[in-house]
Amino acid sequence: MSEKPSIYRALADLELHNQAGALCTIVRSRGSTPRHTGSKMLVYWDGSFIGTVGGGELENRVIREAKEALRDAAPRTLEYSMTDPARGDPGVCGGQVEVFVEPILPRPTLVVIGSGHVGKAVAHLAHWLDFRVVVSDDRPDFCTPEAVPGGDAYIMSSMAELPSQMEITPWTYLVLTTRGANVDMQGLPALLDSPAAYIGVIGSQRRWATTRKHLLGQGIPPEKLERVRSPIGLELNAETPEEIAVSILAEIIMLRQGGSGQVMSGR
């Protein structure tokens, strides 16, 4: 049986593999507590963890808070008294403990699905904006560094097979710059159950209405389709592939940063 990695090796692996985790460290303990100052636990976004801050109900509460910290990207200090469970305390040891939870977030991944003219421009701009860029297309000639420079990874597969080819996380942004509604109809259902932060489909309102009607007819629940943003991007009257890419990335940045998309001059 292989040994579990140390906390420090696991932290290095987070950066190496562009993953998310929350480092939970006991920064103060007083009296009798299960673990003492300096004890650490690393919680992954799916709730799995290595290390320990004490086990039992205390650890369960810290794991819940760690997952919440990953969702809102905010560190927090947790304070627990270990005296009276009837009063809501997580234990009866008699001491007090403080745990600092530090979310460690990955570089956001932008997946360009369909690498025609617009997809190529989106990949180029996303790379410049420091996204990790994944290029995916079911056409071999469209899914190479020569066809679309600047990608960090290239996945030659159908859209329906994409979730089995890569890990889609809450820090993944899926941009469908595909060649037609038929491609979206076939591949989109496989993406709707993913935890992706964003699913955007290029095209006109009519194209999306056609796609949506077809998917509803296939039994896809309407609440799943509400996750999809289409037409994609902010209204800029964009025409060229490069301008359309700016529109798409502007929407993604707005959603990531909690912006309004309004003109800042107020005019």
- pLDDT over 80 at 267, yes or no: no
Distance CA 107, CA 20 (A): 9
Q: Of residues 38 and 4, which shows the higher confidence score?
A: 38
pLDDT on residue 2: 47
Q: Of the ranges 7-11, 54-58, 138-142, 198-202, which one carries the lowest mean pLDDT score?
A: 54-58
- pLDDT over 90 at 265, yes or no: no
Mean of pLDDT over the chain: 90
Distance CA 135, CA 143 (A): 7
In Å, how far from its chain's centre is CA 14?
14
Sheet harboring 76-81: ordered strands across? 49-51, 40-44, 21-30, 96-104, 76-81
- pLDDT over 60 at 87, yes or no: no
SS3 label, residue 20: coil
Distance CA 136, CA 125 (A): 16
Q: Closest Cα partner for 21 from 29, 10, 30?
A: 10
Long-range contact list for 134-141, CB < 8 A, 24+ apart?
A: 134/109, 134/110, 134/166, 135/111, 136/111, 136/112, 136/162, 136/165, 137/113
Contact 31, 75 (CB under 8 A): no
Percent above pLDDT 90 for the chain: 75
pTM, full prediction: 0.87
SS3 label, residue 217: helix
Distance CA 91, CA 117 (A): 60
- pLDDT over 90 at 85, yes or no: no
Q: What mean pLDDT comes out for the span 153-181?
A: 95
Contact 259, 138 (CB under 8 A): no
Q: What is the dihedral of CA 8, 11, 13, 19, to 10 degrees?
A: 170
- pLDDT over 50 at 1, yes or no: no
Identify the band that residue 53 occupies on the pLDDT scale cut at 50, 70 and 90: confident
Contact 199, 192 (CB under 8 A): yes
In Å, how far from its chain's centre is CA 35?
32
Domain 109-257 has CATH 3.40.50.720: yes
Q: Where are the domains of the chain?
A: 7-104, 109-257
pLDDT on residue 4: 62
- pLDDT over 80 at 219, yes or no: yes
